[in-house]
């Protein structure tokens, strides 16, 4: 709930790493190298599948709302991949797109309308943006 891309299984560890302890001491885990290696692959794969399904199921029918929702989901999935590759913890999606450099998704989604050609272009534009995302450590 409240996570478009779903809740990462490593969220509790991220909470330990970045939040303020109110009382006592708790561990402050670093971002594990193994997670940096596996999480981006998983998140990118999800984003690719989301867009592939969208292109086949929603775009030909001109279902703009479904395409917009899928584009938002794929953007969040890609943003999770970007930040995982950088070794940056994520505890929610409120600032996820700007942190990952994917704020341009707003313009892509805003131009959508119930025209299969326009929707196909939106998916193409999202794919291009995701391919050019900066996965390098900031």
* Residue-wise pLDDT tens digits, 44-81: 999 999 999 999 999 999 999 999 999 999 999 999 99
Half-sphere CA count of 117, side-chain side, radius 13 A: 0
pLDDT, position 135: 86
Domain count, the chain: 1
Residue 44 lies in a domain: yes
Burial of 34 (0-12, 13-18, 19+ CB in 10 A): exposed
Residue 91 has pLDDT above 80, yes or no: yes
Half-sphere exposure of 37 (CA within 13 A, CB side): 3
pLDDT in tens, 12-46: 999 999 999 999 999 999 999 999 999 999 999 99
Domain assignment of residue 59, yes or no: yes
101, pLDDT greater than 90: yes
- Write the pLDDT tens digit of every residue in 112-137: 999 999 999 999 999 999 999 998 87
Would 15 be classed as within a structural domain?
Answer: no
Q: Answer yes or no: is 60 within a domain.
A: yes
Give domain status of residue 4, yes or no. Answer: no
Please report whether residue 91 resides in a domain: yes
Q: Quick one: pLDDT at residue 136?
A: 82
Buried-exposed string 71-101: b where 16+ CB fall within 10 A, e elsewhere? bbbbbbbbbbbbbbbbebbbeebeebbebbe
Q: Say if 86 falls within a structural domain.
A: yes
* 88 located within any domain: yes
pTM (two decimals): 0.94
HSE-CB of 120 using CA atoms within 13 angstroms = 6
Q: Would you call 22 exposed, middle or buried from its count of C-beta atoms within 10 A (0-12, 13-18, 19+)?
A: exposed
**What average pLDDT does this structure show over 84-101?**
97
Q: Which domain holds residue 127?
A: 32-131
Assign 138 a pLDDT band (cuts: 50, 70, 90).
low
Tokens matching residue 84: 């995982």
Tokens linked to 133: 């995302």
């Amino acid at each position: 709930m409240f996570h478009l891309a779903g809740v990462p299984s490593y969220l509790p560890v991220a909470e330990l790493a970045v939040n303020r302890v109110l009382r006592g001491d708790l561990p402050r885990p670093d971002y594990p190298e193994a997670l940096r290696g596996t999480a981006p692959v998983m998140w990118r794969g999800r984003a690719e599948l989301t867009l592939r399904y969208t292109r086949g199921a929603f775009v030909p029918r001109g279902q703009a709302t479904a395409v917009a929702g899928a584009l938002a989901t794929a953007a969040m999935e890609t943003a999770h991949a970007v930040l995982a590759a950088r070794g940056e913890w994520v505890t929610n999606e409120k600032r996820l797109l700007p942190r990952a450099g994917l704020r341009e998704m707003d313009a892509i989604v805003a131009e959508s309308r119930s025209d299969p050609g326009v929707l196909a272009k939106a998916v193409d534009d999202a794919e291009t943006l995701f391919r050019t995302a900066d996965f390098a450590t900031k």
